Amino acid sequence: MKLKILVGTMTSTADYVAQAIQMDCADLVSDIEIKLMDGLEIDVFGQPPAEDALYLICSSTYGQGDVPDNARMLYDSLDTQPQFLGHVRYGVIALGDRTYLQTFCFGGKKFDERLQGLGAQRVGEVWCHDASAGTLPETEGTAWCREWLALALAQTSPTETTA
Ligand SMILES: Cc1cc2nc3c(=O)[nH]c(=O)nc-3n(C[C@H](O)[C@H](O)[C@H](O)COP(=O)(O)O)c2cc1C
């Protein structure tokens, strides 16, 4: 299985989280690719029949609960070029700050909403990190990701894991 981490970020925190996951989770998934969302559109999710890939949206939040600038094109394309994404399995790491009470982690949550609307299958719950809590998103994010990957691998059929 391949893990593709799609990174939406303004000041690189989400990228650092993705890099920490790439290093820490190599024993669980042999192929982990990080893609900054810049220039990406819906076709990054491929076409059915499903490629043996799992996607991890790793996105911060800006403005008033918006996706980061580098994620805008991908986010918009989920609306303007809709396709059925029933073959896509994904998870979400949403970075935010609870001092933004009304829009906490909306960047990641907005991706989740659009992906669900297109029929993609989320594995596990959306994981939110609060920058005001003083905890390290890289450390907490990798710990969460290990559990999430175990769940995703458990849901993968034996033929897919051995393929
Ligand atoms: C100008 C600005 C606006 C922000 N708006 C929100 C917001 O609406 N909701 C939220 O949860 N976090 C918000 N944040 C917090 C960031 O999402 C958080 O600090 C995140 O860890 C940054 O990750 P990045 O470096 O990958 O962009 C905002 C931060 C800044 C600087």
Q: Region 58-86: what's the mean pLDDT?
A: 97
Instruction: Indicate the number of domains in the chain.
Output: 1
* Residue 162: pLDDT band with limits 50, 70, 90: very low
CATH number of the domain enclosing 88: 3.40.50.360
Q: Region 124-153: what's the mean pLDDT?
A: 98
pTM: 0.96
Does an H or E element contain 129, and which? strand 127-130
Residues touching ligand 1 (Cβ under 6 Å) are 9-14, 60-62, 64-65, 68, 95-97, 100, 103-106, 131
Interval 14-62: pLDDT, tens: 999 999 999 999 999 989 999 999 999 999 999 877 667 899 999 999 9
122 close to 92: Cβ distance less than 8 angstroms: yes
Tell which phi-psi region holds residue 109, choosing left (phi > 0), alpha (psi between -120 and 50) or beta: alpha
* Residue 163: pLDDT band with limits 50, 70, 90: very low
Q: Please provide the distance, in angstroms rounded to a whole number, between the alpha carbons at the two ends of the chain.
A: 8
Q: Which domain holds residue 127?
A: 2-162
The protein residue with its alpha carbon nearest to ligand 1, atom 7, reads 65
Question: How far, in whole angstroms, is CA 131 from its chain's centroid?
Answer: 18
The phi, psi pair for 106, rounded to 5°, reads: -65, -25
